[in-house]
Amino acid sequence: MIREGYFKSRALMLVFEALATVPDASPVLIRQLTGLPERTTRHSLARLARLGLLQTVPDYSDLRAKKFKLNEPPGIDLLAFGVPQAFQQGSGHPLVAFGKPGGSRG
């Protein structure tokens, strides 16, 4: 699927892959799938939302709860290929470029 090198944060990669695997996932389910702490999961979801790759889906079984799913950029089907076009190396996509030069605190 998506290799860690495309992300400056391993946590962000894990959350993205969890959402690609299970659409309409709750934060609790994402934490169970990734094994990440609650705060790291929240930060990764917020980062994906700021990048425009995430949307909130209402959970009608519990109106206080939120679920999340990935947005599909125009013209790109995120799940049709093993490595989505938007994340191929050198694409200039924001996920490839974010983070500090020389490493991250993932």
* Structural domains of the chain, ranges and CATH numbers in brackets: 4-72 (1.10.10.10)
pLDDT band of residue 84 (cuts 50, 70, 90) is very low
Please give the pLDDT value at position 46: 85
Contact by Cβ (8 Å): 38, 31 = yes
Q: Which residues have CB under 8 Å from 64's CB, separation 6+?
A: none
Q: Which residues have CB under 8 Å from 15's CB, separation 6+?
A: 30, 34, 36, 41, 44, 45, 48
Highest mean pLDDT among 5-9, 21-25, 81-85: 21-25
Please give the pLDDT value at position 72: 60
Q: pLDDT digits over 25-76, tens only? A: 888 888 999 999 989 888 888 888 887 788 777 666 665 667 777 776 544 4
Q: What is the mean pLDDT of residues 75-80?
A: 46
Please give the pLDDT value at position 59: 61
Q: Residue 96: name the closest of 34, 7, 1, 3 by CA.
A: 7
Q: Which residue has the tokens 């695997």?
A: 21
Please give the pLDDT value at position 101: 44
Q: What is the mean pLDDT of residues 4-21?
A: 76
